[in-house]
Amino acid sequence: MKTFTGRPGAAISIAAAAMFIGCDRDPVRAERADVTRPAVIGGTASVQTAASGTFTQTAITSLDVETRGPNTVLQQTAVGTLTGTLAGQFSDKLQVVIHPNGKFNAHGTITCVCTVDGKQGVLELVGGDTGELVSPTLAVFAGRLVINGATGALSGLRGVLQIDGTVNVTTGLATYSYTGNIHFEP
C-alpha cells in the first residue's frame, strides 16, 4: 500500500482526476481505485465508515439547452435534499450530453451544506454518470461521486460513493441513492 504525505487531500484529488482523464467513452471508470481499504495519509490509517442515503432534486434553477452535432447538451443547475449518512441541502451544476440513441453521460459538481455524524460543514462532491432513456418519461443512470473537499467540522472528510438513480423526463428532476465509504483524514 502506498503512503501519501504532503498536501492533505492530494490522494483524493488524484483519484478524482483519474476518473475523467482518458475516459471519453465512460467518464466514471477508475482503473486502479481501491476504496475498500483504509486510506493511509502521513503514515496513519483512517477508519472507513459505510455511507448510504438518497439525493432528491426538488427544483431546477437554470437550464440551457444546445445542439452540438447530433447530440443535445444540457447545462443545468438544481437544488435538493440529501438524506442518510450525509444529510442536508445541496445545489448541483451538471452538464449532460444526450446522444441520438437515448444514452447519455453527465458530469458535475455538488455542493452540500451537510451534517455527517453530528458534524456540520460544506461538502464538495465531483462525479459523473452514464444512463439511458428507458421510456418516454423515465431515464436511469449509474455513476460515482468523490468527496473532493469539505469545510467547517467536516474538514478532512473524504470518500467515494456509487450512485444509481432515475430522472423523471417530464420534470427533469432526478432521485438517486448513494452507497460507499467515507473517512476523516487524520
Look at residue 47 in the predicted model and tell me its pLDDT.
86
Per-residue model confidence (pLDDT) at position 186: 77
DSSP codes, 110-152: EEEEEEETTEEEEEEEEEEEEEEEEETTEEEEEEEEEEEEE-G
Structural element, H or E, at residue 178: strand 174-184
| Residue 184 exposure: Cα atoms within 13 Å on the Cβ side | 10
pLDDT averaged over every residue in the chain: 82
**Which pLDDT score is estimated for 45?**
55
Q: What is the pTM of this model?
A: 0.75
Expressed in angstroms, the distance from the first to the final Cα of the chain is: 17
CATH number of 10-184: 2.40.350.10
For residue 13, give the nearest of 51, 52, 41, 48 by alpha carbon: 41
Going residue by residue through the chain, which has 186 residues, state the pLDDT in tens, using 9 for 90 and above. 333 333 333 333 333 333 333 333 334 443 444 444 444 444 455 789 999 999 999 999 999 999 999 999 999 999 999 999 999 999 999 999 999 999 999 999 999 999 999 999 999 999 999 999 999 999 999 999 999 999 999 999 999 999 999 999 999 999 999 999 999 987
**64 in Cβ contact with 58 (< 8 Å):** no
